[in-house]
Each structure stands twice: as C-alpha cells, then as structure tokens.
Amino acid sequence: MWTDPEIESLGGVIAAIGRPDFAARALAALQPAVQAASWSVYALRRGGPPQLHLSATGQGPDLTRACFDAYARGLYLRDSSFDPVRAAAADGPRVMAMHADAAPNRDHREAIYRAHQVLERMSVAALDARGTLLAVNVYHHEDQGPFSEAERQRFQALAPLLYHAVRRQVDWQRETPAASAQARRQALQAAAPGLTVRELDVCERLLRGWSHDGVAADLGLSLATVKTYRARAFARLGLHFRSELFARFGHARSDGADGPADMPIAVAPRVDRAAH
C-alpha cells in the first residue's frame, strides 16, 4: 500500500519530466517522502569516464556538481559501491545505501563526503543493455543526520518508478525532437544574431536540461570550452544565470505537451540489504 508522501513525491517527479528544470523540480517533489538535501543522476560507462546527467541541491550552491567533479577525476575507477548492481545485471533496479564511513576508500570519503559535508547516500541503480550503469542518488548532509527508517522504507517503495521516471527524463534529454531543437535555435538566433554555431549548440543543449558535462561529451569538447561558449552566448543574450535562459527560451515539445507522454512500467527493485 502506497503512503500519501510516496504518492505525492512520485506524482511530482513524473509531472516534472520534460521540463528544463527537472532536476530542481524533482528534488523538491521528493521532499514529502525523502528529505534529501541534494541528489544526482550519473552514468558509469564501460571503458569511459562517468557522465553527470542531473543534479540539484535544495539550498545554496549545487554541491553535487563539486562532488561529481572530484569523482570524475579518477575516484570512479576505484568505486566498488555499485558492484552488486553489476553482479546482478539482469535483476532490474537495485536499492542500496552508503554512509560516509563506508565509502570505498579513504580518498573517496575525504574528497567527496567529508569535503562537502555529505553524510549518507541512498541509491537506486541498474544496467542498461549496453552495460552502462545509471545511478539515481539522494543525499543527507551532515547537519541532517542519517536517513530515518521511514525515509528508507519510502525510498525503497518509490525506487522502481523513480528510477524509470528519471530514466525517461534522461532519454528525453537525448531524444528531444529535432523540430523543438530547431525552434529553440531559431529563437536564440533571433534574440542575438551574432551567436556562433557552437554557442547555439551549447545553449540549445542546456535548454534540454543537460549538464555541462553532458554537453561536453555530446559535442566532443572539454568542459572548460563548453563554459567559455556558454559565457560568450550569455553575454550576447544579456543573460547572467542559466535560470534566465530557461525563462526566456525554454519551450514545450513541438506537439504542445510538457514532456514525454508515455512512462515505462517498472518492475520491483532488488534491495541490497548488506550495503551500509
């Protein structure tokens, strides 16, 4: 039996699919069920660096991006915390939890958890057909204390549908119809005719809700180069913040809807009861 907080949270996450500010909206929607201070969604690919798809922090700067930057500098190569997911590849989404004290190694604990006052992570993760692991992570910070038993139970109940909702958002960010992409580029070009092709490429992908890491990976550019193109484009557009870009140029899909119409049917998750 679903509880009211679980229903409210899941409904809010699903309603946010297809919006450029999905990450912030979804984090806010999770609060009735799990009072996460921040969250992140990233992919771990075979033979390649991790990719951050989504992240948000409830108040203040987005600490999850800083954590991911430290993770991507090489800590991911020694991260064994998702090994149970890889070992049970065909079992569907798996739920696990990890306290800072149980981080895979000292460097991981100090550079990510201690340096950014993160206390505990709860995750739901699964492998896709290509062997890429997608992890949906929610965090408690040190000033919150550990997750309560009620939060753990609600997260386990939410996990399968939460995973598939986030999976749908990630897919949507990569599969936005060409007509919508072209409409955004035309609107940007009309507002600032001097925008270069690369500046348009970067802004259009940011409007899909992509992270800077995702834009860099898709365009084959360095993260620093993507941020340079963004800064130049914002100067031409008279913008200072990403939220202003969304407010002026964020559009619904070309069919008039706010996001994808269909949601996949989820299966029950496996729970890693041995994780810390």
Reported as a single tens digit per residue, the pLDDT across 22-57 is: 999 999 999 999 999 999 999 998 888 898 999 999
- Give the mean pLDDT of 224-236: 96
User: Is 95 a residue whose pLDDT tops 80?
Assistant: yes
At residue 263, the pLDDT reads 32
Domain edges within the chain: 4-174, 176-249
Q: Is the pTM of this model over 0.75?
A: no
What is the pLDDT at residue 226? Answer: 95
Calpha distance 181→207 (Å, rounded): 9
Which overall architecture, per CATH, does domain 4-174 show? Answer: 2-Layer Sandwich (3.30)
Most distant CA atoms of the chain, gap in Å: 57
Domain 176-249 architecture = Orthogonal Bundle (1.10)
Mean pLDDT to the nearest integer, 242-247:
82
- The answer to whether 208 touches 177, Cβ cutoff 8 Å, is no
Average pLDDT score over the chain: 86
Cβ proximity of 40 and 55 under 8 Å: yes
Q: What's the mean pLDDT in 247-271?
A: 43
